């Protein structure tokens, strides 16, 4: 999901004087003035899809409805440095965000939007320098001084290695790119937040509150230490660098604990700024953070329940004035089903507006000051977070401890999933209170054969990207290349490589390439030549061995199968395409090992050809495909075809956010099972896949 802390902060003026409870003005006195209200946070919706022109129309519509900042979602090829006509981009163009391949797309995206006064968040990481370069170049083309631009680039690569998966380069070159964007913006785009240290995806990957705080602080420390070591910022200018660091956090439904977490976060960041970096100006030590409330907790079953969940999660980051978010974006109620429509996003925006403008929240100081419960819980979280931070720093820091942190997150997530399965962690409409009436939000009512608790919204309740978009974008980028000055682009690419190979800041060469007409794929390709690419750890070993009692029956069957046929059932867990959200795949891999499977899991971004080769070489009994990017109709049939062409007759199962009508199509293409978020009982999935493996091993399938 997207993010960013905004430039506009809640008001910090004096609170209005209010009459004591029950007190009325004396006869002849004027009534007391209305209470002073703090300014509300920046309100955003995380959006972008199909094309730059279509996304621009959506942005201008949302701004007209009262949204006060932009939050741009980019598609996966843009995030991972591929142009729309790259083979790696097949099936992914425009699916989870907007494709931006060149300066022309950035101009279309921001058409009629006043960038000189707009606060823009860009959820972009591995290619953050490039998208920022395009944003700056577009402003310059419009005659806007980059010094007035305000907004944020997420630019947090650590959490990409740990949870989200849109990394390209190894950790140290990636950190160097982050350092360069920070050093450049502090001097030339001073109102820009060059990094948004993002704990949001850590919580999605299983982080406990104290892990979320500690790992985010460790990332910020790793980046700031590297800025110091780079020598690009003089010593007296370093406090200003610290003051430009922003954060992006998650807020779950346990909103009391989330309130305490944010109070912990703000106090510990102040401590880091003071003790480690010697920042004396309290305004530069202030924790500036934005929020996307928890999307992991949104359910496919009874999705209307997601609305109160979203409201409660918003309270966790707005109730406490001392720890209030500076920017907030809320997911749509139906994001567990697919891509939200404009109306769905409007509903989420209205929740923010009602909270800010109808309620009295912004009329008071911090309502929790003096609360023994809040103070005790905050102190408890602070102690645990500081101890976890010290442990990470003892391991060398966030960049150096990626493998260990990944294992810890997978272990925490495995425990969370287990507690949902057993009912220890209750989720309304999923593992309790599953009876439901037909939902008026579902145009066709429950889907035939839907499980208890599933409202089964039909296709009309989500937005679908036109399949023609990909071919249109391929033609667009080809036309762009043919119309530009190829020699100027070649010279700009040479300068970019030269900067990357040396110690020169990467941003001037990046902006020059944007002006010359370079593309996203060319920028990333040049840096791939210099820095290479990275394969992140899977961390699946960290969660194995925690389901002995729950999986006793399945494990017994697996052992019996091994004794009968000479080996345990073998499962290939595959992540095709550019989708990097690997939490589900990792949890299936962990659970399958607990259930007695021999698991082959090679991480994210495998091509259909690589998946077919792995299935053939490993002689697997079941092929499990995990896909969350919406490209299932393009990639899964190709995987099935390549498997069969390679002589692999193992059944194929697919998991992801897959609408029922798409599931029927996949079943017609040869997929044996389709699992979606409503299928939360992993034990049942293991039992099901073991049955498929038993049939395959016995030779009855093929």
280 pLDDT above the threshold of 90: yes
Nearest CA to 671 out of 564, 574, 606 is that of 574
Given the residues 49, 159, 201, 261, the one annotated as active site: 201
161 classed as catalytic: no
**Is 104 part of any domain?**
yes
Beta bridge partners of 336: none
Please report the pLDDT score of residue 677 as a whole number.
86
**Chain position carrying tokens 């009391």:** 256
CATH code (residue 338): 3.20.20.240
The domain boundary, picked from 422, 452, 480, lies at 422
Query: Burial of 108 by CB count in 10 Å (0-12 exposed, 13-18 middle, 19+ buried)?
Result: middle
The domain boundary, picked from 369, 393, 422, lies at 422
Please report the pLDDT score of residue 702 as a whole number.
42
589 neighbors 601 (Cβ within 8 angstroms): yes
Same domain as 298, residue 169 = yes
For 384-428, what is each residue's pLDDT tens digit? 999 999 999 999 999 999 999 999 999 999 889 889 988 999 999
In this prediction, residue 459 has a pLDDT band, given cuts at 50, 70 and 90, of very low
Here the tokens at position 139 are 């402003």
Collapsing DSSP to helix, strand or coil, 59 comes out as helix
When pLDDT is averaged across residues 174-194 and rounded to a whole number, the result is: 97
Given the residues 102, 159, 581, 696, the one annotated as active site: 581
Spatial distance between the Cα atoms of 190 and 180, rounded to a whole number of angstroms: 14
Provide the phi-psi class of 577: left if phi over 0, else alpha when psi is between -120 and 50, else beta: left
Please report the pLDDT score of residue 16 as a whole number.
29
546 classed as catalytic: no
Instruction: State how beta strands 622-626 and 70-73 pair.
Output: unpaired
19 pLDDT above the threshold of 50: no
DSSP-assigned letter for residue 339: B
Here the tokens at position 220 are 């910020």
Give the Cβ contact number of residue 311 at 10 Å: 17
Please report the pLDDT score of residue 220 as a whole number.
98
Mean per-residue pLDDT of the chain: 89
In this prediction, residue 14 has a pLDDT band, given cuts at 50, 70 and 90, of very low
575 classed as catalytic: yes
**Is 208 part of any domain?**
yes
**Is 519 part of any domain?**
no
Q: State residue 548 phi and psi, 5-degree precision.
A: -55, -50
200 classed as catalytic: yes
**Is 486 part of any domain?**
no
102 classed as catalytic: no
194 neighbors 185 (Cβ within 8 angstroms): yes
The domain boundary, picked from 422, 445, 474, lies at 422
For 598-630, what is each residue's pLDDT tens digit? 999 988 999 999 999 999 999 999 999 999 888
**Is 355 part of any domain?**
yes
543 pLDDT above the threshold of 90: no
Please report the pLDDT score of residue 487 as a whole number.
98
Nearest CA to 524 out of 221, 228, 100 is that of 100
For 34-74, what is each residue's pLDDT tens digit? 568 999 999 998 889 999 999 999 999 999 999 999 999 99
CATH code (residue 566): 3.40.50.280
Here the tokens at position 582 are 């690997």
Cα-based distances in Å from 673 to 235, 312, 607: 60, 35, 21
**Chain position carrying tokens 């209170």:** 433
Spatial distance between the Cα atoms of 325 and 247, rounded to a whole number of angstroms: 10
When pLDDT is averaged across residues 483-488 and rounded to a whole number, the result is: 98
201 classed as catalytic: yes
Here the tokens at position 184 are 């450049």
Same domain as 552, residue 411 = no
Beta bridge partners of 616: none
Handedness of CA 478, 499, 103, 59 (dihedral sign): positive
Please report the pLDDT score of residue 451 as a whole number.
35
Please report the pLDDT score of residue 157 as a whole number.
96
**Is 462 part of any domain?**
no
Longest dimension (CA), the chain: 96
Given the residues 49, 210, 406, 575, the one annotated as active site: 575
Q: CB-side exposure of 29: number of CA atoms within 13 Å?
A: 9
Of 29-33, 465-469, 672-676, 694-698, the one with minimum mean pLDDT is 29-33
Sheet of 196-198, strands arranged across: 42-44, 327-329, 288-293, 246-251, 196-198
Give 577 or 110, the one with higher predicted confidence: 110
When pLDDT is averaged across residues 520-529 and rounded to a whole number, the result is: 98
Nearest CA to 431 out of 420, 415, 439 is that of 420
Spatial distance between the Cα atoms of 210 and 264, rounded to a whole number of angstroms: 9
When pLDDT is averaged across residues 523-531 and rounded to a whole number, the result is: 98
543 neighbors 414 (Cβ within 8 angstroms): yes
Range of the domain at 192: 43-422
When pLDDT is averaged across residues 354-364 and rounded to a whole number, the result is: 97
471 pLDDT above the threshold of 70: yes
Spatial distance between the Cα atoms of 199 and 585, rounded to a whole number of angstroms: 21
The separation between CA 671 and the C-alpha centre of its own chain, rounded to angstroms, equals 28
Spatial distance between the Cα atoms of 195 and 155, rounded to a whole number of angstroms: 5
Spatial distance between the Cα atoms of 699 and 209, rounded to a whole number of angstroms: 48
Given the residues 75, 476, 579, 594, the one annotated as active site: 579
Same domain as 58, residue 196 = yes
Domain count, the chain: 2
Nearest CA to 189 out of 264, 255, 138 is that of 138
**Is 222 part of any domain?**
yes
Cα-based distances in Å from 515 to 118, 131, 495, 509: 22, 12, 13, 10
Beta bridge partners of 601: 573
Given the residues 135, 200, 215, 289, the one annotated as active site: 200
In this prediction, residue 442 has a pLDDT band, given cuts at 50, 70 and 90, of low
Spatial distance between the Cα atoms of 371 and 323, rounded to a whole number of angstroms: 15
Please report the pLDDT score of residue 548 as a whole number.
65
When pLDDT is averaged across residues 75-82 and rounded to a whole number, the result is: 97
Spatial distance between the Cα atoms of 42 and 69, rounded to a whole number of angstroms: 6
């Amino acid at each position: 999901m997207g993010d960013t802390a905004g430039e506009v902060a809640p008001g910090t003026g004096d609170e209005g004087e209010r009459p004591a409870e029950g007190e009325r003005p004396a006869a002849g006195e004027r009534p007391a003035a209305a209470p002073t209200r703090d300014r509300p946070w920046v309100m955003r919706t995380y959006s972008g899809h199909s094309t730059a022109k279509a996304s621009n129309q959506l942005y201008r519509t949302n701004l007209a409805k009262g949204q006060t900042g932009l939050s741009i979602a980019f598609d996966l090829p843009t995030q991972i440095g591929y142009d729309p006509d790259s083979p790696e981009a097949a099936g992914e163009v425009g699916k989870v965000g907007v494709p931006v391949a060149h300066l022309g797309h950035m101009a279309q995206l921001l058409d009629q939007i006043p960038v000189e006064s707009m606060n823009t968040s860009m959820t972009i990481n591995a290619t953050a320098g490039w998208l920022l370069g395009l944003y700056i170049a577009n402003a310059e083309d419009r005659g806007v001084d980059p010094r007035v631009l305000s907004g944020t680039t997420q630019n947090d690569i650590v959490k990409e290695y740990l949870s989200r998966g849109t990394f390209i380069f190894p950790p140290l070159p990636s950190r160097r790119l982050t350092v360069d964007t920070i050093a450049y913006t502090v001097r030339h785009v001073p109102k820009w937040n060059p990094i948004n240290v993002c704990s949001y995806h850590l919580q999605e990957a299983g982080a406990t509150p104290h892990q979320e705080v500690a790992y985010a602080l460790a990332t910020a420390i790793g980046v700031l230490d590297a800025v110091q070591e780079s020598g690009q910022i003089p010593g007296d200018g370093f406090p200003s660098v610290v003051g430009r660091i922003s954060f992006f956090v998650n807020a779950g439904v346990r909103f009391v604990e989330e309130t305490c977490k944010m109070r912990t976060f703000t106090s510990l960041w102040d401590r880091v700024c003071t003790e480690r970096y010697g920042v004396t100006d309290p305004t530069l030590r202030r924790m500036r953070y934005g929020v996307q409330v928890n999307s992991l907790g949104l359910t496919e079953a009874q999705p209307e329940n997601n609305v109160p969940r979203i409201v409660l999660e918003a309270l966790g980051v707005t109730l406490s004035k001392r720890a209030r978010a500076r920017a907030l974006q809320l997911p749509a109620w139906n994001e567990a089903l697919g891509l939200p429509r404009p109306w769905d996003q409007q509903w989420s925006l209205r929740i923010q507006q009602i909270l800010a403008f109808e309620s009295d929240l912004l009329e008071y100081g911090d309502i929790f000051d003096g609360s023994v419960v809040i103070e005790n819980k905050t102190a408890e979280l602070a102690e645990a977070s500081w101890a976890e931070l010290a442990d990470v720093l003892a391991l060398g820091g966030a960049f150096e401890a990626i493998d260990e942190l990944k294992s810890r997150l997978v272990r925490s997530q495995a425990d969370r999933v287990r507690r949902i399965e057993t009912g220890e962690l209750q989720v309304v409409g999923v593992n309790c209170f599953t009876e439901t009436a037909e939902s008026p939000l579902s145009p066709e009512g429950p889907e035939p054969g839907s499980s208890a608790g599933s409202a089964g919204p039909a296709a009309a309740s989500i937005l679908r990207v036109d399949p023609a978009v990909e071919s249109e974008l391929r033609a667009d980028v080809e036309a762009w290349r043919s119309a530009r000055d190829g020699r100027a682009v070649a010279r700009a690419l040479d300068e970019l490589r030269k900067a990357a190979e040396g110690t020169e800041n990467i941003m001037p060469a990046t902006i020059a390439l944007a002006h010359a007409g370079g593309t996203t794929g060319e920028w990333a390709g040049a840096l791939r030549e210099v820095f290479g690419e990275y394969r992140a750890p899977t961390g699946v070993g960290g969660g194995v061995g925690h389901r002995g009692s729950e999986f006793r029956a399945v494990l017994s069957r697996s052992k019996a199968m091994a004794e009968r046929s000479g080996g345990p059932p073998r499962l290939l867990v595959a992540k095709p395409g550019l989708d990097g959200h690997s939490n589900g795949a990792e949890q299936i891999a962990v659970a399958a090992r607990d259930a007695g499977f021999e698991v082959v899991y090679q991480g994210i971004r495998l091509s259909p050809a690589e998946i077919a080769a792995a299935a053939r070489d490993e002689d697997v009994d079941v092929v499990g495909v995990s896909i969350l990017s919406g490209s299932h109709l393009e990639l899964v049939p190709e995987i099935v075809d390549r498997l069969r062409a390679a002589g692999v007759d193992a059944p194929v199962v697919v998991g992801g956010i897959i609408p029922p009508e798409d599931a029927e199509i996949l079943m017609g293409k040869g997929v044996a099972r389709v699992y979606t978020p409503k299928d939360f009982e992993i034990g049942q999935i293991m039992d099901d896949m073991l049955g498929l493996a038993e049939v395959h091993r016995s030779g009855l399938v093929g």
